Amino acid sequence: MFDGSSVAITGGTGMFGHNFLRTMLSMYRVRKLIVFSRDELKQYEMANMFSPKRHPEIRYFLGDVRDEQRLREAFWDVDYVIHAATVRQISAMEYNPFEAIKTNVLGAQNVISASIACGVKKVIALSTEKAASPSDLYGATKLCSDKLFVAANSMSGANGPRFSVVRYGSVFGSRESIVPALMEQKQRGTLALADKRMTRFSISIDGSVEFVIKSIDTMNGGEIFVPKTPSFRITDLATAIAPEASVDFIGFGPGERLHEVIIPSDESWHTLDMRDHFQIIPNEQWAECEKKSERTCSICPSGFQYSSDSNPLFLSVDQLKELVHSGFHRHV
């Protein structure tokens, strides 16, 4: 799909962007690969890893998703856009709420408008489990973003770009996950956990990149794609990282939840089980998808909820040890 095409990724200097670039360069012969981000230092460091001299298809665009005109310049002659730019530090967002809205909500609309203006073929946005029944500002802004991208298919018309969303939990070992914090606390001999009942979903960075690429390939527009991934118990992770350490249960931080919910029960009635993943379908497309579902998939039962505590697949302590020691705790 990507051979001979032009691809742009916003927020391209983050962990996902690094691994997405690595995958694009190793598996496809893209005509142009545009890294769009606002951090010139990260672009400089990334250019040392992926040099335009060795990879002439790479373009580094300095810009902010808050600037629609700059997005239009970056998206000119682009076939596919991956929107990964976001503000996600929860405490900073709670203190500076409108700054989060400018990037996560208004920035999302700018990506949509620029994609339509430039005639992009497909756009997929990265979301988070926090967008499902949000309990903090970050989740609320990402829910707004999800709604914008789903509704954008009506704005673009029959011949315009198709827009979809990928939603999954924290990438195992990423800056947003608990793994780096526990690795640091390990040196002190005491681990701080919120609650012994806590569970989380687990997806590797390679798995997230593969799932995004697969979703771009199969999307029709309007779907929210949710991968089926294993869960783990937070106490098992603590044992895997530091079996000799003591544990303090300190209670929940701002916006923190006992379990991760990626598909809430009130979305179950228009969710398809595609065997290896779920698709949340827009209301206006549901009647047509329901007719096709008998041949290709099944409809989730009423009241179904995809939650980390009720997931049929859990990682063992040994499996978690393997993940940690294989290097997934590194940020890139």
- The whole-number pLDDT of residue 286 equals 83
Give the pLDDT of residue 256: 85
**Residue 11, token pair as written in the block:** 């927020």
Q: Provide the domain limits for residue 91.
A: 6-169+205-228
According to the model, what pLDDT value does residue 178 have?
Answer: 86
Answer yes or no: is 234 within a domain.
no
State the total domains in the chain.
Answer: 1
**Would the pTM of this model clear 0.85, i.e. be above it?**
yes
Q: Per residue in 41-87, pLDDT tens?
A: 999 999 999 999 999 999 999 999 999 999 999 999 999 999 999 99
Sign of CA dihedral 118, 161, 58, 72: positive
Choose the catalytic residue: 42, 102, 130, 214. Answer: 130
> What pLDDT sits at residue 255?
77
In a domain, 265, yes or no: no
Q: Kindly state whether residue 161 falls inside one of the protein's structural domains.
A: yes
Q: Kindly state the percentage of the chain with pLDDT values over 90.
A: 79
CATH of the domain at 113: 3.40.50.720
Q: How confident is the model at residue 295 (pLDDT cuts 50, 70, 90)?
A: low
Q: 203-222: per-residue pLDDT in tens?
A: 999 999 999 999 999 999 99
Gap between the Cα atoms of 209 and 112, Å rounded: 21
**How many C-beta neighbours within 10 Å does residue 6 have?**
21
Q: Residue 237 falls within a domain, yes or no? A: no
Rounded Cα–Cα distance for residues 2 and 33 (Å)? 10
Per-residue pLDDT tens digits for 140-170: 999 999 999 999 999 998 889 999 999 998 8
- Please state, for a pLDDT cut of 70, what percent of the chain lies above it: 96
Cα separation, 174 vs 332, in Å, equals 8
Classify residue 72: in a domain, yes or no: yes
Our CA dihedral for 164, 167, 172, 175, rounded to 10 degrees, sits at 80
Name the amino acid, one letter, at 62.
Answer: L
Residue 271 lies in a domain: no
Name the pLDDT band for 327 (thresholds 50, 70, 90).
Answer: low
- Backbone angle region of 4, left / alpha / beta, with phi > 0 → left and psi within -120 to 50 → alpha: left
Our answer to whether residue 130 is catalytic in this structure is: yes
Residue 331, pLDDT score: 39
> How confident is the model at residue 33, as a pLDDT?
97
Tell whether 175 is covered by a domain. Answer: no
Query: In the predicted model, what is the mean pLDDT of residues 290-305?
Result: 80
Contacts with 330 (C-beta within 8 Å, 6 or more apart), sequence order: 173
Residue 16 covered by a domain = yes
pLDDT digit string (tens) for 222-247?
Answer: 999 999 999 999 999 999 999 999 99
